[in-house]
Chain A
């Protein structure tokens, strides 16, 4: 696996860097074995439904830097996600008591003639316009399929504009077609930040970077008690805050799928240690994560105290919930590491996870640490998961599976999936806040929401009665992996 190389304009995509895959059907244990033996094969689907792309995931992080502006070098359709992210940004402002501010996002509006003659002058104009209107402290340029295929030399423009405007104008290479794994877009965003924004450390601070999305603040209390300070990156950071993340005492990721590249980059380039442990989901995972945090921050005794306190506070209630939930069957669909974490959490609650459709699989993270392998941890701690499917959001497979196994409950982490549980009359839960289930308290939070969902079935029952199904009877009778074939070889890493 190549080390982080900041001289590269673009970060190699996950398929190439980590050997990540999007197609697999089997058990979780089999997948873990294949991953660690380097014999992982990817599957391709001859029929597929629409997914997301890297440019969206890159945008989702960069667009919420508070004093930066975005320029999306693309036809106007690629800017279809602007308002959605602006909405998320503003909701986050509410939750963090920040003043309301609109996202400043610009699109270069690539048109037909531009694909013939090039659109770099348009890009330059748009960057200037963004600068004049916003007076930002940095401008990020995200690329698109169109700009990529016509071979735009974006880097030359961003370099030139950096000089002209006197602020970092940063190229973020994230064309949709480059990767089947849309989380490659996070890597692209982080690559551009570490390359062009982050400065070498002047000192070490007591800050701990937390690579995260937009969730609630669950880390401040813990870190303050240990004498450290939470520093959430990238959404809601300022440019100057990002400049100094190299000075932090450590880096925490709320999800290694999100932060694998940034965590490793900060450690490799600037020596900021990354917490390498299973995520803090389920008792065993949380214990292990806490201890690793204690080790890295040199607060091992305090952490043991906290573990004892928190366990004592949570366990009686947890037993109560377990008694109610034991035997409940569940199917799960989520992104990679967070999905693994949720499996651990559901198992901890006594829930029978019948299967999972997880959007991709990284056999290893950029830190190359096997201790951080969440799926391995989950399988070892809680046992194998039978119907484990790596599937980049293919609703047709999901419907087929749900229709077969008819679980008591479906849990989804991403939009566009819950509908199918509900249409089949299965109580379905989507939790948006990824911090909601974090740590010891998270177990109770989740248990409460699950009990509430199981109890609340009137809506889904009625919906199921009146719903149409766009899938053919033929399809619902086929093996769910009918279209998954190929088993393309993945390069060993």
Chain B
């Protein structure tokens, strides 16, 4: 599989500026060339939020910073940021220029930290990794450089309090909706979730309670795991890992029951009552519309392709097959540059995607290559592509329906839409069939 990329679907390490923006009243300070921030926002954007986009403080490193070093410039920009921008936490992020020339950004940041300023830093030079990987790096930086320092009661565990590491904000275009649903569900079974990102979280003050969690929950194929392991090492907090996005009745029920079993403080009976109630509501809708799915005569998708990150690919595949009866194409594609050690686990998920069916999975970061393969496979049945805006022509060419789920989504405007949980499952059915039925005149 090539490492070259046609049609990128994620960003570089500096892409985590979007992770920072997703924390309420946290602001990135970018020490990089002049175009980096804008390009990241262009791919992982749709709205500047509180202080993203054109508001992001940046050193806009020029030739003189490359030749003579950019530490002085960075100091000036940090200084200005504290005066100009009204924020609770600043996160200094480096780009290729400063990481290659070797600016001591840690030293510059520590000067401000020593004055008691809320600021942390991380090395995120674009070439170092991608934003899936550096997401955990930022969480680590905030935990070690800010939470450790300012958390009021690190040793006092609060029963029922959990930290949730689920979506990567903006890389998951539906992060707000997904986190909202996950918070609603966990609250429903009696937990108090620190959701950490987005309008459902308490911002930086919520982060300060991270060490006090009874346990942590990772809802993801692999990003977020490092953060959970870090917290286990640091504070001894155990964690529960659900390796894909729970979508719909079966998987959400499984997720909640396993969480309830994991947490000592969860009242199992109450949790079960909540789950049963949610399932009842969810399946009422499925039952009510089952006749449509069985009887619509003019063609609805019978086969699907996922061109998604691992978390979404597994979650959607299970739901589409097991609850909607749409069958996976022979090969499913995963585009998040999954590190080698997690690949076998993901293959295994696809191997037993239902009790009686399995699918092969290919890992590729090169969208152009994936599209060539799918074109060659030319499916006979009407197909559904769960991919990105890049799949627009592919979908037309093979007569498929396209739901853009992965970055760049571009052809959709996302507010609080999410596909996680019971509500997300219903929403996914609506969105898929909205597109399918929209093709009839």
Contacts and interface: CB of A to CB of B under 8 A. Distances in A.
Interface of A: 46-56, 74-84, 86-87, 100-102, 104-112, 114-115, 122, 125-126, 129-130, 133, 144-146, 149-150, 175-180, 182, 393, 395-396, 416-417, 419, 468-475, 483
Contact of A75 (B7, B12, B389, B393): B12
Contact of A49 (B2, B11, B55, B62): B55
Interface stretch (B39-47, B144-152, B322-330): B39-47
A416 B56 CA distance: 11
A470 B38 contact: no
A78 B13 CA distance: 11
Given A87-B410, A396-B84, 20 more contacts: A46-B77, A47-B79, A48-B59, A77-B12, A80-B42, A82-B7, A83-B389, A105-B6, A106-B6, A133-B372, A145-B96, A146-B100, A149-B101, A176-B33, A393-B54, A416-B48, A416-B53, A470-B85, A474-B83, A475-B84
Residue with the highest number of chain B CB atoms closer than 10 Å, among A49, A55, A175, A472: A49
Given A79-B5, A80-B39, A149-B97, A52 B34 contact: yes
A102 B60 CA distance: 31
Nearest to A128: B4
A48 B77 contact: yes
A474 B365 CA distance: 46
Nearest to B36: A77
A395 B55 contact: yes
B126 interface: yes
A216 to B, nearest CB: 22
B368 A83 contact: no
B86 A472 contact: yes
A47 B43 contact: no
B84 A47 contact: yes
B95 A145 contact: yes
A396 B96 CA distance: 25
Contacts of B61: 145, 177
Contacts of A105: 6-7
Contacts of B36: 50, 53, 77-78, 176
Contacts of A54: 35
Q: How large is the interface on B (under 10, 10 to 19, 20 to 34, 35 or more residues)?
A: 35 or more
Nearest to A398: B54
15 contacts: A49-B54, A49-B57, A52-B34, A53-B35, A56-B39, A76-B11, A79-B39, A80-B40, A87-B410, A101-B393, A112-B129, A146-B96, A177-B66, A470-B86, A475-B85
A180 B60 contact: yes
A109 B365 CA distance: 10
Contacts of B213: none
B58 A50 contact: yes
B81 interface: yes
Contacts of A417: 54
Contacts of B76: 46-47
Interface string B89-131: 0000001110011000000000000000000000000111110
Contact of B34 (A50, A122, A396): A50
Contact of B96 (A80, A109, A144, A474): A144
Contact of A146 (B127, B392, B393): B127
A353 to B, nearest CB: 22
B238 interface: no
A47 B14 contact: no
Contact of B54 (A50, A75, A130, A475): A50
